[in-house]
Structure 1
Amino acid sequence: DALRRKVLRKIDLRTIPCVMLLYLACFVDRSNIGNAKVAGLERDLHLKGIQFNIALSAFTITYIIVKIPSNHILRKVGAKFWLPFLVFCWGVVTVFSAFMSNYASLLAVRAVLGFCEGGLQPGVILYLSSLYKPEELQLRVGLSFCSTALSHILGGFLAFAIHRRMDGFAGKGAWSWIFIIEGTLTIFVAVVVWFFLCSSIETAPYLTPSEREFAAETLPSLDDERNTLHLEEFEWFECRRAFLEPQVWLIAAAQLFSSLPYIPALVTVIASALLADRWRIRGPIVLACVPVGIIGYLMLIFSKSTGTRYAAFFFVVSGLYPAIPCLVCITPINTSGVVKRATCVGIQGMIQGLSILIGPFIYIKGEPEVKGHKIALGLTCGAWALTAANVLYCHFENSRKASGRRDHLVAQYLEQFRAGQTRAPIGDRSPNFYFTL
């Protein structure tokens, strides 16, 4: 209705630009290592063989392990503090990257950078899922991801300008100035976002008291108060439920396989997000888009024509890029219970982070590109198959709930509640909670 649209517009105008800035800072910093390589980092640090590839993967361990703890810290301290704090930290690390002198210092910096960056993506997804209904979520995630397009443009432009104008300035190479300038901009973004971001609807100063009350009443789904991340106490029992949730493993693995060719395709991202939210489906959108990317990889493998291979690039990015927001949204939509959802989103981010470990070794300097294309094709086919498996699983569970074959979960939950195993709401165990396909 009109009031909901008014409230949504206010939330969007205050939240989405902040999240886009956070993602922008993330992906600019993510790509600056490649730009620094072009500007002479590999030469000045005397890197040999695949040392640069190893350095690209150095932060993967800390990047992965920090995701679940980071989400639970966010629940306690609030998104307003935690998300800008993470960005501020990696901005500082990026600035200090300018003073690396050898391979060991590069590895150390990358490990610390992974520790700082790891919590952003799952934290943003958890935060947005606390502000929007499931049918409103993916469009906002898609819009946030669109800032990656600007990050590639901005990062490349800054690197080019710095390389042309500042190489050798104050006795430092162009790659050092790339880290100093982009890290300083990241710190600035963190400070700006801290002033504007709100942790929850209840603390949103841009909403009137009546609007905050209305938003809080219309947002919760079943017993799960999505807009109050801090109310539910941490429980290891709920974390165990998260690790035993089949969907999180299927979708996270599918996301791992499809996220390697991570190049922007703005039109298809927005179009797929609009359709997914309108039709309230996610997996079928992925199943429709990914084959377009598969066709692109087949063209890259079998064609020798430069024009055809260039066209294949558009197939790959148009097919795979819109799948990422869909896969990201399935987990927070289909898991209920704040502790379980925070843990599931963290698990998904951990598995997705493995792509950063695998990616640098798919395309290795000196090896035929077609080998990398074949590996990426296999992973993309795996993503399609795993997504199809998750759609079938959700359909299977929904049909069982509709026929009453999952009613016993209520009694099981009540028994666990009385035994003191959990104080969380019934959440996705409820027979009335249906999974989004």
Structure 2
Amino acid sequence: MTASTVLVDETVKNGVQTEQVETTFLSASDIRQRFDTLKDLSDEQMTALNKKVVKKIDWRLMPCITVMFLMNYLDRINVSNARLAGLQEDLHMSDTIWNAGISTFYVGYLIGQLPGNLWLAKANPSKLLPAIMLAWSIATICMPAMTNGAGFCVIRFVIGFCEAPFFPGITLMTSSWYNKEENPTRMAIWHAGNTISNIISGFLAAGILENMDGVAGLHAWKWFFIIEGAVSILVALVAFFVLPDWPHNTKFLSEEEKEMAQYRILVSNGGRDENITGTWDGVKEAVKDPFTWFFCGMHFALITAQSFKDFFPSILKTFGFDKMTTYLVQAPPYAIAYASACLIAWSSGKYQESCYHIVVPIISSAVGCAMLISTLNLGARYFGLILLISGTYSGLNLQLSWETTLVPAPKSKKAALIAIANCVSQTSHWFSPYFFPTSQEPFYRMGGGLILFGCVMTVLLCFGIVWRAKKLNKKLDEAEGYSAGSGYEKGWRYVY
């Protein structure tokens, strides 16, 4: 297939305004001609160079952002375990003030999302992302200075604002380095940082909160924040030297390797370049694309289905374990969630299918939630937790890779989509804490109803995205004159 521009223009049909789909398709050989160091290489040399580049990026990018995200998520959930160690009582906070503090974190998070990710699309990630990490880590170390609920709300707002660009930023980076087959698995690897952080948080809580109370005259929960903040600062300093930038300007790659890194993504994108003039042009394109709003709804639904995570230790407390056991039994559900997320992501990438790889785990999450809110049987409730955590975390991971596959370029549009979707999703944190008051123990049925709503909405929106992708693919088939058995090679298509 040679380079061809396909324009589907149905501006007015039967008096109704319809959309225009315009896409330029290039074959791999056409794309290779753009790169001086690649165009004369044999297929064997291209394969070997591709493997070399992937290996280098795997060893530099993946461990770095996985550890960074682990610390990022640990910082987000550490207040849940600190609450069990007396944080809420020591600051004389009512449940209402506590929930307000949880919510204000996400107010700051919301405000910093879009500008932060648009800035990153134009900046060097190796400088900006570690600087962001330093900012939230310093704020975390300041948490032991809190004396009341107002201070808690203010500092959580600041931490949320500092953390805002990080999650969409590493999502953007991953999709800019890995093609559509590799992307789901790589996102699962670093996205597992949020499951690993829950495991580590439980062990840290068991070690610090149970053994350091009164050391140097400080409550144990204060040491929890000091130690975690100090480790985050160390990780940020290392990241300044390890984290790569974009494929075209990463210093540790040779010129040939840089061109291969760019070539790989162009082939995956159907020849569409990631670059675009004007950051705000990307925002405008994202806002006009219906996929943006489908993924906004799905991300919102998935975060709503994960609303249990800020109250996970409190939910486990209702199982009747002692405090030490409550800390320790947090680990197995998240370890299982990590393994299942990686396996499902690998399958999704291999078979280039996203819808049912999200729908099936989400249905299992709904079953797990139903167990939690309907029985006091300890084994059934714990198994329900495993299903709930595994399904929602796997679903969120695949949603992230799906949105960057369906909207692969330009970079500023993709950055805007990721940020807008993440931004909208975080609004669920403004109200979800109020669905888990202590008066709802042990079933937390009000929170369970919210989780089930998120699961149902996720399934419906999955099928909505598939409907739109099929509709666009049909238009592209018609525009290319493609039909089964025609002998023509298909161009780039929307994967669902």
Does the pair score TM above 0.5?
yes
Alpha-carbon distance in 1 for matches of 2:147, 2:258: 52
Match of 2:249 among 193, 203, 208: 203
1:45 aligns with 2:45: no
Q: Deviations over 1:342-391 (max 9, x none)?
A: 11111111022123323322221112512221221122111111111111
Distance 1:64 1:432, change over 3 A: farther
Q: Is the 8 A contact 1:53 1:361 kept in 2?
A: yes
Q: Distance in 2 between matches of 1:237 and 1:201?
A: 22
> SS at the partner of 2:391?
helix
Give the 5 Å matches for 1:258-277: 258-259=302-303, 260-261=305-306, 264=334, 265-277=337-349
Query: Are the counterparts in 2 of residues 94 and 180 from structure 1 also a CA contact under 8 Å?
Result: yes
Pairwise mapping of residues 37-186 of structure 1 onto structure 2 (< 5 A)? 37-186=83-232
Moved more, 387-396 or 305-314: 305-314
Contact 2:141 2:226 in 1 (8 A): yes
For 1:416, the equivalent position in structure 2 comes to none
**Is 1:317 aligned to residue 397 of structure 2?**
no
Structure 2 equivalent of residue 423 of structure 1? none
The Cα offsets for residues 94-120 of structure 1, whole Å up to 9 and x where unpaired, read as: 001110111111111011011011111
Please give the alpha-carbon distance, in whole angstroms, between the structure 1 residues aligned to 2:176 and 2:261: 11
1:230-268 CA-to-partner distances (Å, cap 9, x unmatched) read: x53324343122112222222222222223435730121
CA change 1:281–1:246 in 2 (3 A) is same
Matched letter for residue 474 of structure 2 = S
1:347 aligns with 2:347: no
* Structure exhibiting the larger radius of gyration computed from Cα positions: 2
Deviations 1:35-75 (A, max 9, x none): 22122211111112321111101121220121111111112
Q: TM-score, normalised by structure 2?
A: 0.78
- Is 1:252 the counterpart of 2:296? The answer is yes
| CA distance in structure 2 between the partners assigned to 1:278 and 1:22 by the alignment | 27
Secondary structure at the residue paired with 2:431?
A: helix
Q: Within 2, Cα distance between the matches of 1:219 and 1:291?
A: 33
Q: Give the aligned partner of residue 24 of structure 1.
A: 70
Instruction: Name the CA distance, whole Å, in 1 between partners of 2:180 and 2:130.
Output: 25
2:283 corresponding residue in structure 1: 239
CA contact (8 A) 2:71 2:197 kept: yes
| Structure 1 residues 67 and 241: CA distance shift in structure 2, 3 A | same
CA change 1:189–1:347 in 2 (3 A) is same
Q: Which of the numbers 255, 259, 265 marks the counterpart of 1:213?
A: 259
Pairs within 5 Å for 1:293-304: 293-304=365-376
- How far apart are the structure 1 equivalents of 2:194 and 2:108? 23
- Per-residue deviation at 1:161? 1.9
Instruction: Report Cα offsets for 1:395-417 as digits up to 9, x if no partner.
Output: 111112211299xxxxxxxxxxx
Any gaps of 5 or more consecutive residues in structure 2?
1-46, 310-332, 482-489
Task: Note the C-alpha offset of 1:188.
Answer: 0.7
Contact 2:247 2:262 in 1 (8 A): yes
Between the aligned residues of both structures, percent identity stands at 27
Residue 273 of structure 2 is matched in structure 1 by 225
In structure 2, the residue corresponding to 1:200 is in which secondary structure? coil
Partner in structure 2 of residue 420 of structure 1: none
Query: In structure 1, what is the Cα distance between the partners aligned to 2:111 and 2:403?
Result: 19
3-state SS of the aligned residue for 1:50? Answer: helix
- Contact residue 224 and residue 338 of structure 1 kept, 8 A: no
SS in 2 for 1:37: helix
**Deviation by residue 1:282-334 (Cα, 9 ceiling, x = unmatched):** 22311222111122223333334332222222222232221111111122221
Does the 8 Å contact 2:432/2:447 carry over to 1?
no
In 1: Cα distance, 2:300 partner to 2:220 partner: 33
Counterparts in 2 of 1:191 and 1:235: CA distance versus 1, 3 Å:
closer
Q: Give 3-state SS (helix, strand or coil) of 1:301's partner.
A: helix
Is the aligned partner of 1:375 residue 2:423?
A: no
- What code does the residue aligned with 2:199 have? I
Letter in 2 for 1:190: A
Other structure's SS at 1:18 match: helix
| Aligned equivalents of 2:364, 2:78: Cα separation in 1 | 29
Aligned residue type for 1:281: E
User: SS of the counterpart of 2:248?
Assistant: helix
Which SS does the other structure have where 2:210 is aligned?
helix
